[in-house]
Amino acid sequence: MSSELAPGGAARWGRLLWQFIRFGIVGGSGVVVNMAVAVVMNKLNGGSAHAVEVLFPVPGTSFNFRFSSLVWIVTFLVANTYNYQLNRMWTFRGTTRSWWVGFGQFMLIGAIAAFIGMILKAMMMSPDSLLTLHGAWFDAWQFRPGGTLREQVEDAVHSPEYVSQALAILITMPINFIVNKLITFRTRKPSAAEAEREPVLTP
């Protein structure tokens, strides 16, 4: 590789790395939003101990739509809208798509990932599933309404509802990153001036 090409290649890799870090920061804050909405919804429903209650049976199947699945859908809508706007403003500033076109693509891709996540969460919450969360860590858990902040955090990390929510998010997050990077947030080639202004991370 010539000395003329090397700096450009290093700059491109630096921009990609910085973009990946920003996406991770947005995704991390989105997880906080997601979990916060989940906590609020479960609190309003009397606590996460009631997360498995059946809202209605799924017609033509032996499955039921539970409150836990409703939580997953609502948290997806809120967190994904938040993630899209922040990614558009900060992570992928050079996207050429209109806001609504990009939003539709982002939500469609996210919906596919969310559907996979909802199935995974339902399997982790189902007592008859191979993926069910059980054992001493979960079986000894008891919900303590009105407890201290420390007690509520302890309850959350022992609760199958919150642990399955977090695990499903972590599993489906790479799908969102890869597909949205390639489709939703396509970027135009930056000008030389823009490239110089973009932070470049070096080891």
How do residues 11-68 score in pLDDT, each as one tens digit? 777 777 787 788 889 988 988 999 899 989 988 988 877 888 889 988 888 888 889 8
Question: Is residue 193 packed enough to be buried (19+ CB in 10 Å), middle (13-18) or exposed (0-12)?
Answer: exposed
Q: What is the mean pLDDT of residues 165-176?
A: 82
Of the given ranges (107-111, 155-159, 190-194), which has the lowest mean pLDDT? 190-194
pTM check: above 0.85:
no
Instruction: Tell me the percentage of the chain whose pLDDT exceeds 70.
Output: 83
pLDDT 10s digits, 74-121: 998 999 899 999 999 888 877 777 889 989 998 998 888 888 888 888
DSSP secondary structure letters along 37-66: HHHHHHHHTT-GGGTT-EEEEPTTSS-EEE
* 201 vs 146 pLDDT, higher one: 146
pLDDT value at residue 82: 95
Distance CA 92, CA 156 (A): 34
Residues whose CB falls within 8 Å of the CB of residue 187, separated by 6 or more in sequence, listed in order:
92, 94, 95, 96
pLDDT value at residue 158: 76
pLDDT reading at 154 higher than 80: no
* Number of residues written out for the chain: 203
